[in-house]
Chain A
Amino acid sequence: MTATPVLSASNVSMVFGGLTALSEVSLQLHEGQILGLIGPNGAGKTTFFNCLTGLYTPTRGTVTLRGRTLPSDPAAVTVAGIARTFQNIRLFPSMTALENVMVGRHSRMKQGPLASLFHGPAYRKGEADARARSLELLDFVGLTGLDDELARNLPYGDQRRLEIARALATDPAVLLLDEPTAGMNPQETEAARQLIFAIRETGVAVVVIEHDTKFIFSLCDHVSVLVQGQLLVEGAPEVVRGDPRVIEAYLGKPPDEVEAEVRQYAEEAGRPSAAESTMVIPPVRERDGGSEGGNR
């Protein structure tokens, strides 16, 4: 691929005090791509997301969106076209589902503080458009009819989907999903996979953090493996899946022992609906250093 990437991180490093959470991580995301970011706990995946959204300013390195350096303020990054969801759900609990999505719409609406007070025709049209678009997005993620429900009263899986709808409401070029299937059952996971494919169809490039390798390998066009803050391997899922370094760093087992297991994941991943319980990658055994700096 030679086209300019939508999102490009070059040599991003993030140091907290003495702890290097990310070291020289580079990554390119192209139009229409779904990129998987995997790695053991504490590898720096969420920290990397925080660098991409302006929540952290990288100690070194740059992030560009469509060739332009990202602003350092999170609200401005969202306006520029990067939206995200969170590992721990962070909806606005006392607002309805529709209002949550409409907050996502905020930066694409024009009305100033006084316009809303005087209720002019332009104001009403803007508000109606935002409402219509937000309802459409609720439909899109499968929350039809739940618009008046308070976010905190929605079941867990619906909350995850609502977060996606809210992120999509900002009209992003790039959507970052931080463990979108954490805590989901196989059916919900499969629905999430289909939803992410549908999001790609709308022209949004997606980056997914996930522990579930089966999910990642069956979803992504490109997979990057982060270990201890460093990019270990990247490439097509088939390549990454078979890489002995990944298997060793990730699973801490001798490669040949694991290879069969990995091949099994891959086969199962091919099937559209996996009834078996999802395999979750265990954390690295020997090396336990490095905290997930980005968890907030």
Chain B
Amino acid sequence: MATLLQQLINGLVLGAAIALIALGYTMVYGIIQLINFAHGEVFMVGGFASLATYSYVLPDSWKSDWYLALPLMAVGGALVAVVLAVIMERFAYRPLRNAPRLAPLITALGVSVVLKEAVRLWYPGATAPVPYPRAFVDKQFSVEAFGGRITIGSTALLMIAVSLIGAVVLQTYISRSRMGRAMRATAQDPDTARLMGVNPNRTIVLTFAIGAALAGIAGVLYGIHYTNVDTEVGFLYGIFAFTAAVLGGVGSIKGAVIGGFAIGLIKSLAGQYLPGGTSYDLVWIFILLIVVLVFRPQGLFGEPERVRA
């Protein structure tokens, strides 16, 4: 029983990270129907950028105070991620906006490889996992319960809290604000939105930027929780997040969050209880994806695809 609870907690933490990344996938797909395979790498770059902020930017006297260091790392990671996403949109995707869908998809794969290799080549020591500083927020909360010990770290709580708050803020932003309405209008009918005075480029860039900011923050949280970051996580978490977005229904914020947590939970529970253990946990995730897509192709919360007039 204690093991079950512990695995539930582990799953929620993993799911929170996936959910934060999935939000970016789902928003970008919602607005320009692009599966941005490079989004996972944006998350990875966010992790490295916040580490760089810590290692090369912060004065030594601030490093031990987590309440100074952590927000600044988050800002550094998010900022680099946003700049990267904006450049990516401007130079890789925008020229292909009216091209057949396969072209931007392949471009996204290309961008993904470029980013991963660039970090591997140029970030000092990135050919192997790079350790994150452990000096701060490593407090653990433990409870003796159900004949065992359940531990949850403060980084884990932070990850779950940020993910949920991020999703709620984003949902409110999209449903209530001026730019949020512009994003939804552009997603539903870009030409008409343009004719109503909505600048499509500005709206699309904003969508990429918001997604990247969330991925960048996920990068920092991932780093401090798992205490290292390496160039491979972008691809792996990109796939998880993509699956989460599809599972929840691409275009749906709620779907991305629930999909993210579902995948996190399945991975940790299946790794513990199902035959094959952790070597087969990915198999169960994709079996679930297939089952959902067979019975509900639009995902759990997605709107059925409409044929555009």
Residues of A within 8 A of B (CB): 53, 55, 73-75, 77-79, 83-84, 86, 88, 90-95, 99, 102-104, 106-109, 111-113, 116-117, 126-127, 130, 166-167, 170, 296
Contacts and interface: CB of A to CB of B under 8 A. Distances in A.
B195 A113 contact: no
Contacts of B180: 116
A269 to B, nearest CB: 31
Given A88-B309, A296-B191, A170 B178 contact: no
Given A74-B194, A75-B197, A90-B309, A117 B189 contact: no
B306 A93 contact: yes
B194 A111 contact: no
B120 interface: no
A75 B177 contact: no
Given A75-B200, A104-B196, A170-B197, 18 more contacts: A73-B194, A75-B195, A78-B195, A78-B197, A92-B192, A94-B184, A94-B188, A95-B184, A95-B185, A103-B181, A103-B182, A103-B193, A104-B197, A107-B196, A111-B177, A111-B178, A117-B173, A130-B178
Interface residues on B, range: 20 to 34
Nearest to B306: A93
Nearest to B170: A117
B179 interface: yes
A106 B196 contact: yes
B192 A102 contact: no
Interface string B170-213: 00010011111110110011011111111110000010010000
Contacts, number: 94
Given A90-B309, A93-B306, A106 B178 contact: yes
B179 A116 contact: yes
B199 A95 contact: no
Nearest to B169: A117
6 contacts: A74-B194, A78-B195, A92-B188, A102-B181, A103-B181, A106-B178
Interface in B60-103: none
A134 B178 CA distance: 13
Contacts of B309: 88, 90
A78 B178 CA distance: 17
A200 to B, nearest CB: 21
Nearest to A108: B197
A127 B198 contact: no
Contact of B173 (A77, A103, A104, A116): A116
Given A75-B197, A117-B173, A170-B197, A55 B191 contact: yes
Contact of B184 (A55, A92, A108): A92
B303 interface: yes
Contacts of B191: 55, 74, 90, 296
Nearest to B184: A95
A127 B179 CA distance: 11
> B185, B197, B209 — which one has the most chain A CB atoms within 10 A of its CB?
B197
B210 to A, nearest CB: 8
A74 B181 contact: no
Contacts of B195: 53, 55, 74-75, 77-78, 83-84
Contact of A92 (B169, B189, B197, B199): B189
A88 B309 CA distance: 8
B197 A90 contact: no
A156 B198 CA distance: 25
Nearest to B209: A113
Contacts of A74: 191, 194-195
Interface string B281-309: 00000000000000000000001001001
A92 B178 contact: no
